[in-house]
Chain A
Amino acid sequence: MTSNSPVAKIEMQDVKKSFGTKHVLNGIDLTVNTGESMVIIGGSGSGKSVTLKCIIGLMQPDSGSIKIDGVETTHIDTKARDELMGKFGMLFQGGALFDSMKVWENIAFGLIQGKKMHRDEAHDIAIEKLKQVGLLAQTGNLYPAELSGGMQKRVSLARAIATNPEIIFFDEPTTGLDPIMADVINDLIKNCVKDLGATALTITHDMASARKIADHVAMIYEGNIIWNGSVNDLYDSGNSYVDQFIHGRADGPITKHVDFKAQN
């Protein structure tokens, strides 16, 4: 970062990660500015999830640098990592709600266990967040297994925003939902991020969702960012890989490459 530009919220430089002989990330460079909503698109197995997990710290990259607010995070100790986690909120693909706890306890979990808040106070915030994602206060006393998929996603979103995080990660937020519920979740994500003034990083392969929530879009393919730009430029990117992906065509450079590899 040059001294005259503000410090980026998330800055990845040449991040590499391999599992055995399989190179998943081949040098990812990505910058997300404060208050920006970045969406990473890409096919299954392209390295989207691994990128996300490296930033959060659920995985350790093999090499490269990841800075949050200008601070290097790849080699920090457990205590600093715990503090860093306080800045993060995450919506998991499957919801990842704790099934042994009631809905409100799920939402309040980060407040009670992470921030050591009193239960009553945390309960009030949980109910408030529950209303914010469009659910009734009574829902708080149910268990996650008693909720539909869409409701679980909403609760999961409420849990992700409960601690008022500075950065929120969304892992395929609309996967497994019907188109209407997907749009509802997209709206909620957009509003929640705006209300909090948070920075958002989403990975998805749902183009409707990407168009709706993104300020910037980056496309990842075989462990590299092959295109990065404003969402307004997405449909005239001039990149044949991006074009194939966003239009969902079976024929194009991405599938050609796969066939070529299969033949060898």
Chain B
Amino acid sequence: MKNPEEVVQRLDAVDYLADEGLAMAVFLALRLGKPLLLEGEPGVGKTAAAKALAQALDTPFLRLQCYEGLTAGEALYEWNYQRQLLHIRLGLASDDASLFSEDFLLERPILRAVRHDGPTPPVLLIDEIDRADDEFEALLFEFLGEAAVTVPELGTFAATRPPIVVLTSNRSRDLHDALRRRCLYHWIDFPPPAQVAAIVRRAVPEASAPLIRDTTEFIGRVRTLDLDKAPGLAETIDWVSALAALGATELVAGDTLRTLGTIAKTPDDRLTIAAAVPQESSP
């Protein structure tokens, strides 16, 4: 990709509408070969951006979902112990080299990204890195800095073409500065209503224009209410899909109440949003 405008076009072609900031972030990440750290409120399209990027570049998409207790065994590589034991049983284990060879190496997402052998580097999404414990961040440093993974028994695997790495975080925990330093950073803001409408139109092509206009307007109002969890883009898309599935062509109070579960995710929010419906939505 030659410039940020091309990034916008290529992502647009796979139905992901990127704004100028995100396009610049993606462009620089690709050109400088650095990982990209995306933050933003939940449901704003962080994960979708990585997926769309893989689709736009037509390369494999690898995903590592982070969770507490994630270790090298799940993220980098693991030895296939069962096969090793069988190998021993069969009396074939003559020395270390035969047991700890590539035959017994199980690739996990990061090592798979490093060893990927194809015309284009894969996109590796390290999703919700803040959910992994902070010890795990240190495991990533070698990979993020050098695009290499060291397996003590075998040596260092370095990527011929560094994979495109996207990390996402919901800021539930402060990430270490050393991790931030190795990445480019972009904060995805919640898009303005016109952009929301455009995104929803792409995501739910079967929805009618008046329906999309009314729903995005309503979501804009709902987001100003005092809610436990303000509906994000993902919820808006779900809601419009639900309304479209019901055959609605414009927003009416009855449909809104029936499909409230797509945008209100706690009992309190349900009440608050329901109270905002009758007098505010168009009849």
A and B are interacting partners: no
